[in-house]
Amino acid sequence: MKVSLNLDQHYCAVEREPNEPRCPTESAFYYRLKKSLITQGHDVIKRLMWKDGHLVDAKQYYIRMRNWDWCVWDIHYALRNPAEQFNHGLCVHMDVQFGKENPQHGRARQA
């Protein structure tokens, strides 16, 4: 899994490597994403969003920093399953949201 995390542009791009096994479920996709971010040196965890108090679907996952600095989530959750897009060899673009304590919180994306 090739993960390009760009905090300045507020996005994360995930691509499937050649000969990489498929992700059978959305949970497995987020698990691999978490492992890739950990190998890049980020202290992240995979969570169900509702368990952190967000008013969302009970099956919606996200990856967040343990200290709540930022999180990676799929803004198109209701429209697609990122694991299916990943399995077809397409690049999965995800959004990065910053926590309120982070100085980049609320900063507009740059074109």
Query: Among the listed ranges 13-27, 58-72, 93-107, which one has the minimum average pLDDT value?
Result: 93-107
**Per-residue pLDDT tens for 22-42?**
999 999 999 999 999 999 999
DSSP 74: -
Task: Determine, yes or no, domain membership for 14.
Answer: yes
pTM: 0.82
Lowest-confidence range among 5-9, 13-17, 22-26, 49-53?
49-53
Is residue 103 a part of any domain in this protein? no
Closest CA to 37 of 10, 71, 67: 71
Kindly indicate the confidence band of residue 108, based on its pLDDT and cuts at 50, 70 and 90.
very low
Count of domains in the chain?
A: 1
Instruction: Please indicate, yes or no, if residue 10 is contained in any of the structural domains.
Output: yes
- Note whether residue 12 is domain-resident: yes
Domain residues for 32? 2-98
Nearest Cα to Cα of residue 63 among 88, 92, 85? 92
Q: Write phi, then psi, for 14 (nearest 5 degrees).
A: -120, 125
